[in-house]
Amino acid sequence: MIDRYTRKILTELWSDARRYQTWLGVELAACEAMEAASFVPKGTASAVRARADGKLDPARIAEHETRTRHDVIAFLTHVEELAGEPARWLHLGMTSSDVLDASLAILLRDAADEILSGVDELRGACARQAEAHRGTLMIGRSHGIHAEPITAGLVFAGFYSELGRARRELVTARDEISVGKIAGAVGTYASLSPEIESQALSSLGLTAEVVPTQIVARDRHAAYFAALARLGTAVERIAMTVRHWQRTEVGEATEAFGKGQKGSSAMPHKKNPILSENLCGLARLLRSYAGAALENVALWHERDISHSSVERVIGPDATGIADFMVRRAASLVDGLVVNADRMRQNLEHTGDLFFSEAVMLALVHKGMARQAAYELVQAQALATSATLGRGGVAPGQPSFRTRLASDPDIASRLTPADLDKAFDLQHHLRYAGTIIDRALGDKIH
Amino acid sequence: MIDRYTRKILTELWSDARRYQTWLGVELAACEAMEAASFVPKGTASAVRARADGKLDPARIAEHETRTRHDVIAFLTHVEELAGEPARWLHLGMTSSDVLDASLAILLRDAADEILSGVDELRGACARQAEAHRGTLMIGRSHGIHAEPITAGLVFAGFYSELGRARRELVTARDEISVGKIAGAVGTYASLSPEIESQALSSLGLTAEVVPTQIVARDRHAAYFAALARLGTAVERIAMTVRHWQRTEVGEATEAFGKGQKGSSAMPHKKNPILSENLCGLARLLRSYAGAALENVALWHERDISHSSVERVIGPDATGIADFMVRRAASLVDGLVVNADRMRQNLEHTGDLFFSEAVMLALVHKGMARQAAYELVQAQALATSATLGRGGVAPGQPSFRTRLASDPDIASRLTPADLDKAFDLQHHLRYAGTIIDRALGDKIH
Amino acid sequence: MIDRYTRKILTELWSDARRYQTWLGVELAACEAMEAASFVPKGTASAVRARADGKLDPARIAEHETRTRHDVIAFLTHVEELAGEPARWLHLGMTSSDVLDASLAILLRDAADEILSGVDELRGACARQAEAHRGTLMIGRSHGIHAEPITAGLVFAGFYSELGRARRELVTARDEISVGKIAGAVGTYASLSPEIESQALSSLGLTAEVVPTQIVARDRHAAYFAALARLGTAVERIAMTVRHWQRTEVGEATEAFGKGQKGSSAMPHKKNPILSENLCGLARLLRSYAGAALENVALWHERDISHSSVERVIGPDATGIADFMVRRAASLVDGLVVNADRMRQNLEHTGDLFFSEAVMLALVHKGMARQAAYELVQAQALATSATLGRGGVAPGQPSFRTRLASDPDIASRLTPADLDKAFDLQHHLRYAGTIIDRALGDKIH
Amino acid sequence: MIDRYTRKILTELWSDARRYQTWLGVELAACEAMEAASFVPKGTASAVRARADGKLDPARIAEHETRTRHDVIAFLTHVEELAGEPARWLHLGMTSSDVLDASLAILLRDAADEILSGVDELRGACARQAEAHRGTLMIGRSHGIHAEPITAGLVFAGFYSELGRARRELVTARDEISVGKIAGAVGTYASLSPEIESQALSSLGLTAEVVPTQIVARDRHAAYFAALARLGTAVERIAMTVRHWQRTEVGEATEAFGKGQKGSSAMPHKKNPILSENLCGLARLLRSYAGAALENVALWHERDISHSSVERVIGPDATGIADFMVRRAASLVDGLVVNADRMRQNLEHTGDLFFSEAVMLALVHKGMARQAAYELVQAQALATSATLGRGGVAPGQPSFRTRLASDPDIASRLTPADLDKAFDLQHHLRYAGTIIDRALGDKIH
């Protein structure tokens, strides 16, 4: 977890202080459920809470752990220091993982909530740009090569939609991880009961593992980190797109450039898409964490603890980075400087050749055989193509439309009005609004 | 895709013949939708179907592809060879990916259906073993070390439950992947319409990509392969457990040994858990494929084709292996030879020390302070522990229960009946049935 | 292993026929060493060779395996069918892995040799382009943004150098994998001897595992697949570069376009960098295989067989793909159509601003304070920058050099000759040849 | 980077203070080389060193970075604050990456040195255990099933040998990463020279990138992190073995148990192999970091900065964890409590059946046909097998040797002395010492 890529709220969420406080919450919830079951004396939990809640000292627990080499025992020793005799009733019939797994579930769930709110921020930014650039013309590209026109709004709508899918998976994963167990050493409730567990977990906003072992099953965690990796790819796609748009030769959009920001120590006038590049790198990290989590599932028998070191690292790191990514991406998208003029210029680069298909189809609908129509149009397209410079058809050369209109086989079938329609960008893009609307209509939360 | 790890039905599903037939299906569905929209002449699709359906020759298409270096154009050329003039109306206004992505969706969906039916088979086997061994006592282990008793049925119920979660994710992924686009070169329906797309896709059992680019978004595919990887970990956990059970020193269960099967060329009497080991290896492959799929999401602009080579490999391989794994695991679980006697012997290994906690809690409920109770019981536990051999307490040494009963501080508080209850395995495992029932009650499909 | 991405020679290398023939070679080498040690009767190996060499029938072995479920026993049964009584002496004191691991080593080594020859082909192509474009000017880019001039030859020299490093690692990995063991069930030579092993392996071109278990240690294989993944990234970098160069707006180089090849079913005039995109996808697969291989190392005790299924898949797939990649990349680089005019045009895009630093340093060397020089130059750079269009400084606007020459503070310090030197591309790139020469001087094989 | 899994020396190595100090070292080395080339005034570096060396304030640099959003510019601003005018000569003609990459190289190299010294510690511990248990008998296991005898020393010798290979790869990777570039914005030495670079780097203990771009090529870093991942698998294999040995039913070795350490909050008498489990988890993290590093290689053109965020995380994390792993593993191996009695008991579990092969070969060498010998021995082996309990042949049942001696067909061929030899464990393991010696003879450093 490095400060550079973590918001304070996530740093705090994964702090020792918060973790121990969460453990205490779990112990107290379990204790209250045991009180209700007449398993421990009434009033125990409230007595402990009064003396320990908010007063835990991580440094003191660390001292105990140095000696006991067992974190939960160290914690309980400290709680007893603070709360005295009533604290001895805590943890009765429980095993360490009863505390640890419920706590991890709470922290991962709360981290997911932060991330989800960031996703909403990012989706909001994408929706705003989709609306703002609903009709901003740009060339669509496949293989990095100009293809046919689109609008910039469509691209943002695509991001919005993809983020919606990532969000849905993360919500599912959040629910799947919101599971604990208060079921003892091997999950049999030997000295406990499903009722105690149910009450304790429900007061923590968790449900019970269906078949607990010593721990909650780790496929749940694997799904959680996979959901973060997928969210990472959605952000990566946005960032990758911005990087392409900001290329010198493309220049269709640029990241906002802060006051005082310097682009390069050698070339101060350069504006580099460093936020987007940064996001692409972070997506790689989320992928890698998901791989480690998948190796954590097939533990030995009723548990081995090999998952723990992995989770201590990737729990904070993956959630911290995912949260950072969606926030940074939101500000990136919101601040993006879209250069509609340049988009329009680039669109003209291929001299209207992208209307070939519309012309060909127009001929077909006038009764011409498809292959014949194809060949007629293709001949003029190739002739035009040979005269293309960087800004479209070279000065003094006939345009593609002019060439088509001069071809007697075409002119005998298509009126100028027919050609107008085939060359009509508005017609070409008549469904752009429909697509954007159906994307933005998906207001999932 | 290697025969050794692929069922014939999956090999067939990913064959050239099936792929081309699926392409034809997509072209015809699109054609019919265009007929309905008066976009191509009525009867076109049925004319083509009559002459081409079931008659495609992959070798011939391969010849065309050698020349054109473009698979869809090679395919269309062949269809035209077979069906003549009406075939020229196919693919009107469409781009290759309109065909390819809908087809891939169909194949991945159909593969998922095979896998899901295998998951059901495997869940069935787990459920049968969970019922059969509902009360079969065995020692639960954490860290590979004996902990407290469980029943073998609980373990199978855990597998059943975990597979249920993997199944749910795969069903979601299957639905997410059941998406196509018939929207042209950059997804704008320039020469098509959302209505044509909707009709075509719905006749194929697909829905439309919300914001198509040239292709269907690849986060959907990433989620699909992640779901397979997760399913793999569920099978891996089963296989890992069997491998532990079959260890010479443990001997609690063994894979069925076929007639004529030989264990080792050097040591013919050995029975090795080779199916389970094999499954553990295959799970690694599924993890690795999921990693590659996550790199496929952030393509350039409206698409680049770098995802294609990855999908050509992992589409068949990951689904073939996942299907193979669940089938093999089903037969593994069904054929597993459970050695209940050995389980019982192993249970006795630690001389009933796992009842310590129950005795301690009994003392507490009789009013003793918790720490005092803990120390009393612990003293006898350690004394017992010192006399443990491999089969439990050494002959001639008092049992743990005898030691406890001989301790005046304990005997003054706990009657023989109290001790009986604390040493009662049935009581210890009183919730095993509850857990198994709630697991098996999850009949998801 | 799919035909599309595998050369025939690799397909053949991983065929059943070749594998069984390799097994026979290992058995015969071991047999000869045992003959020398008077362990089996003289003449055994030659008798078996005469009747079985080149006559193995994979289908027949498959039949035996169906029954025995053990591949090596099935193989030995078949050899005995062919060679009769002498064949019974084969495999004496050996375990299956003695045969399997030596054979795998041979196949991976031979596959590496194929790949290495492909790397040399690719390096040759890069060297040729580095020489051909030693002085071909182009703009260097960081963050996708124009930075300072380079030559195209430098880029190819960089590929050459990187491939050299990948080659070195693969050679090391090839040597590390060229290891077998003929040491029996747990590697102790219980019924064999290090001398027998040494003779057998050396006749196969292998060395002996230092501490054999039942198998050769799997870290060797992990290193091999990691070397392939790294080689994949070197190819990926080439392919990624070509994709950027071929972008419509950049247009600095394009993949060769075959006769009859079609770019797009909707847009036949498009030339897409599909070979390069394909290579980028394949690099992802090599990365993923390396991950699976790393999970194969920590096997149980003296071996478990979980590595086997992984290797059956990734052995052929990773080597087949790596070999395919270097061959395809070689033909890609060799056929690349470099557009030096376009490179030159793009170079002019930023109106010589990349000479800022040289001017600034010239002022400093004339005695001006660095910060003052920086500010003077920067002012003119920003003024120039404001007049930049796509082809450089807009018509009618003064060039950067003119602006500098018109600045009295600059003109008083720098003569026209000084400015000429600062604006001299040849001077700027005076070390390009040095770099290319030192790269191409690395003739590793 | 979490304290729990990082030694202080690595935490310090990756601190802001150390990083900035390293940057300063690079700037000064470059400055001195420029002084030698009369590029900047003599004495500049020493003047800056006198005022800035050891006095950098990370907090102040952070303030500057908040404003400039550029770390190197922020750093240079701070150096100028400290050192005044002479500092303006720093960084002349250089680009940020000239500083950053050389510094990263130094830090990764120094981290590798720490790790390598830890590997030596671990190899030392393995060598000591290999010597100590050179003749300690234990059963070898394949598939988790008893196979034939080995000695515990062989296992440790295997670890030693494997760590030697991992060490060699890490040394190679360390050398490959010990590379910088002082070559300006796109690696052409536009305002610098190869001589300046060479002098600067050599004073830092680095060599020059052969073909620099804006940065040092990232395949070097990928190889470095791959080497760490491989080292991780070597440690994982040790840890996995200990976990198996410590299983309750096996009990052949246990991790040292610290004073005051508690095994489990519910079951205080349990001794769990938690260090080994922890190491297995950490190995997963190293694998995952290697995957991310492989995605960093194919950057755009002369560089994009997407690698940077990845390296900021995995540079510290992967080296910190690798260093921690080898240190922890060293203390684990050194402290391991080997239970030779239990090993011997387990060895007896299968009633000497592992001598079958030796008996069979003795018969063959007496002239019996191999298959006949096999069948004779096998019959007695199966009869013995049927009487095996957990401690070997059941009381009152004849031993395998007795059964063989009672078989007239065997007794007529093998004398008691022959049988003695076939049942001689020392003979069986006569090469154990040879293997251990050849492993330990590999004193690579």
Write the CATH number for B113.
Answer: 1.20.200.10
Give the tokens for residue D159: 């670890």
Shared domain check, C406 and C394: yes
Residue D237 lies inside a defined structural domain of this protein: yes
| CB of B129 less than 8 A from some CB of A | no
Residues 82-111 of A with CB under 8 A from B: 88-89, 92-93
Distance between CA atoms of B115 and B319, rounded to whole angstroms?
7
Number of separate domains in chain D: 3
Shared domain check, B226 and B305: yes
Neighbours of C254 (CB within 10 A): 19
Distance between CA atoms of B158 and A217, rounded to whole angstroms?
9
Whether pLDDT at D434 is above 90:
yes
Residues from chain B that touch D146, judged by Cβ atoms under 8 A, are 248, 270
Q: What does residue B179 show for φ and ψ, rounded to 5 degrees?
A: -135, 135
What per-residue confidence (pLDDT) applies to B265? 47
Residues 265-324 of D with CB under 8 A from B: 266-274, 277, 291, 295
Helix or strand holding residue B302 (H, E): none
A364 or A322: which leads in pLDDT: A322
Distance between CA atoms of C231 and C75, rounded to whole angstroms?
35
Shared domain check, C376 and C292: no
Shared domain check, A247 and A210: yes
Whether pLDDT at B1 is above 80:
no
Distance between CA atoms of D345 and B391, rounded to whole angstroms?
13
Q: Which of D38, D143, D301, D412 is catalytic?
A: D143
Contact assignment for D248 to B144 by CB distance below 8 Å: yes
User: In angstroms, how far is the first alpha carbon of chain C from the final one?
Assistant: 28
Task: Look up residue B63 and give its amino acid.
Answer: E
Shared domain check, C208 and C331: yes
Distance between CA atoms of C413 and D277, rounded to whole angstroms?
71
What average pLDDT does the segment D428-439 reach?
Answer: 97
Distance between CA atoms of C430 and C412, rounded to whole angstroms?
27
**Residue B399 DSSP one-character state:** P
Shared domain check, B266 and B379: no
Angle made by CA atoms D181, D183, D188, in degrees to the nearest 5: 130
Percent of chain D clearing pLDDT 90 (strictly above): 85
Position D271 confidence tier, pLDDT thresholds 50, 70, 90: confident
Q: Crossing angle of helices D219-246/C152-177, nearest 10°?
A: 20
Beta strand spans in D373-414 (E): 388-389, 392-393
Whether pLDDT at B297 is above 90:
yes
Which candidate, C378, C116, B116, C237, places its Cα nearest to that of A264?
C378
Which candidate, D164, D6, D47, D182, places its Cα nearest to that of D105?
D182
Residue count (chain C): 445
* pLDDT tens for each residue of chain C, 445 residues long: 788 999 999 999 999 999 999 999 999 999 999 999 999 999 999 999 999 999 999 999 999 999 888 899 999 999 999 999 899 899 999 999 999 999 999 999 999 999 999 999 999 999 999 999 999 999 999 999 999 999 999 999 999 999 999 999 999 999 999 999 999 999 999 999 999 999 999 999 999 999 999 999 999 999 999 999 999 999 999 999 999 999 999 999 999 976 655 555 456 567 899 999 999 999 999 999 999 999 999 999 999 999 999 999 999 999 999 999 999 999 999 999 999 999 999 999 889 999 998 999 899 888 888 778 888 998 898 889 888 877 789 889 999 999 999 999 999 999 999 999 999 999 999 999 999 999 999 876 5
Residues 159-198 of C with CB under 8 A from B: 184-185
Residues from chain C that touch B94, judged by Cβ atoms under 8 A, are 265-266
What per-residue confidence (pLDDT) applies to D378? 87
The last residue of a domain, from among C92, C127, C154: C92
Q: Please list the alpha-helical segments (H only) found in B141-271.
A: 152-177, 194-203, 219-246
Position D267 confidence tier, pLDDT thresholds 50, 70, 90: low
Whether pLDDT at A363 is above 70:
yes
Distance between CA atoms of D37 and A359, rounded to whole angstroms?
67
Interface test with A, best of B182, B209, B214, B297 (most A CBs within 10 A): B297
Distance between CA atoms of B70 and B56, rounded to whole angstroms?
17
| CB of C254 less than 8 A from some CB of A | no
Residue D434 lies inside a defined structural domain of this protein: no
What per-residue confidence (pLDDT) applies to C265? 47
| CB of C353 less than 8 A from some CB of D | no
Residue corresponding to tokens 């597979």: B163
Contact assignment for C165 to D287 by CB distance below 8 Å: no
Contact assignment for A313 to D94 by CB distance below 8 Å: no
**Residue A249 DSSP one-character state:** T
Whether pLDDT at B382 is above 90:
no
- DSSP three-state, residue D288: helix
- DSSP three-state, residue A380: helix
Shared domain check, A240 and A386: no
pLDDT tens digits for A122-166? 999 999 999 999 999 999 999 999 999 999 999 999 999 999 999
Helix or strand holding residue A379 (H, E): helix A370-385
pLDDT tens digits for D109-164? 999 999 999 999 999 999 999 999 999 999 999 999 999 999 999 999 999 999 99
Q: What is the domain extent for residue A289?
A: 94-347+426-445
pLDDT tens digits for B73-122? 999 999 999 999 899 899 999 999 999 999 999 999 999 999 999 999 99
User: What is the value of ipTM here, to two decimals?
Assistant: 0.96
CA distances from C68 to B259, B265, C39 (A): 8, 11, 28
What's chain D's average pLDDT? 94
Q: How do B392-393 and C137-142 pair as beta strands?
A: unpaired
Among A144, A190, A436, beta carbon nearest to B428:
A190
The last residue of a domain, from among B316, B343, B370: B343
Q: What does residue B338 show for φ and ψ, rounded to 5 degrees?
A: -85, 130
Range of weakest confidence among A18-32, A252-266, C143-157, D333-347: A252-266
Residue B415 lies inside a defined structural domain of this protein: yes
**Residue A178 DSSP one-character state:** -
Distance between CA atoms of A212 and C300, rounded to whole angstroms?
27
Report CA dihedral (B354, B359, B361, B363) to the nearest 10 degrees. Answer: -160
Residue B436 lies inside a defined structural domain of this protein: no
Residue C432 lies inside a defined structural domain of this protein: no
Angle made by CA atoms A312, A317, A321, in degrees to the nearest 5: 160
D226 or B372: which leads in pLDDT: D226
Contact assignment for C1 to B2 by CB distance below 8 Å: yes
What per-residue confidence (pLDDT) applies to B405? 94
- Tell me, rounded to whole angstroms, the distance of Cα C287 from its chain centroid: 12
Contact assignment for C186 to D89 by CB distance below 8 Å: no
Give the tokens for residue A342: 């340049």
- DSSP three-state, residue B37: coil
In b/e form, how buried is each residue of A213-242, taking b as 16+ CB within 10 angstroms?
bbbbbbbbbbbbbbbbbbbbbbbbbbbbbb
Neighbours of B103 (CB within 10 A): 23
Residue B440 lies inside a defined structural domain of this protein: no
Shared domain check, B133 and B69: no
Residue C254 lies inside a defined structural domain of this protein: yes
Asked if residue B166 lies in contact with residue B234, where contact means CB atoms within 8 angstroms, the answer is yes
Shared domain check, A9 and A123: no
CA dihedral for A383, A386, A389, A394, sign (positive or negative): negative
pLDDT tens digits for A186-243? 999 999 999 999 999 999 999 999 999 999 999 999 999 999 999 999 999 999 999 9
Residue B219 lies inside a defined structural domain of this protein: yes
Asked if residue B220 lies in contact with residue A165, where contact means CB atoms within 8 angstroms, the answer is yes
- DSSP three-state, residue B15: coil
What per-residue confidence (pLDDT) applies to A263? 53
Shared domain check, C372 and C292: no
Contact assignment for D188 to C93 by CB distance below 8 Å: no
In the residue annotation, C143 being an active-site residue is answered as: yes
Distance between CA atoms of B405 and B416, rounded to whole angstroms?
8
Shared domain check, B313 and B192: yes
Shortest Cα distance, chain B CAs vs residue C165, angstroms: 24
What per-residue confidence (pLDDT) applies to C444? 60
Work out the burial of residue C395: count CB atoms within 10 Å of its CB; fewer than 13 is exposed, 13-18 middle, 19 or more buried: exposed
> In this complex, which chains have at least 3 CB pairs below 8 Å with chain C?
A, B, D
C142 or B368: which leads in pLDDT: C142
Whether pLDDT at D312 is above 50:
yes
In the residue annotation, C264 being an active-site residue is answered as: yes
What per-residue confidence (pLDDT) applies to A265? 47
Q: Which of C143, C265, C301, C412 is catalytic?
A: C143
Work out the burial of residue B267: count CB atoms within 10 Å of its CB; fewer than 13 is exposed, 13-18 middle, 19 or more buried: buried
CATH code, A36: 1.10.275.10
Whether pLDDT at A264 is above 70:
no
Shortest Cα distance, chain C CAs vs residue D18, angstroms: 27
Residues from chain A that touch C142, judged by Cβ atoms under 8 A, are 264, 270, 272
Distance between CA atoms of A285 and D291, rounded to whole angstroms?
9
Whether pLDDT at D14 is above 80:
yes
pTM: 0.97
Distance between CA atoms of B269 and A262, rounded to whole angstroms?
74
> In this complex, which chains have at least 3 CB pairs below 8 Å with chain B?
A, C, D
Among A268, A270, A353, beta carbon nearest to C269:
A353
Shared domain check, B104 and B81: no
CATH code, C415: 1.10.40.30
Distance between CA atoms of D127 and C104, rounded to whole angstroms?
30
The last residue of a domain, from among D37, D57, D92: D92
Interface test with D, best of B138, B241, B248 (most D CBs within 10 A): B248
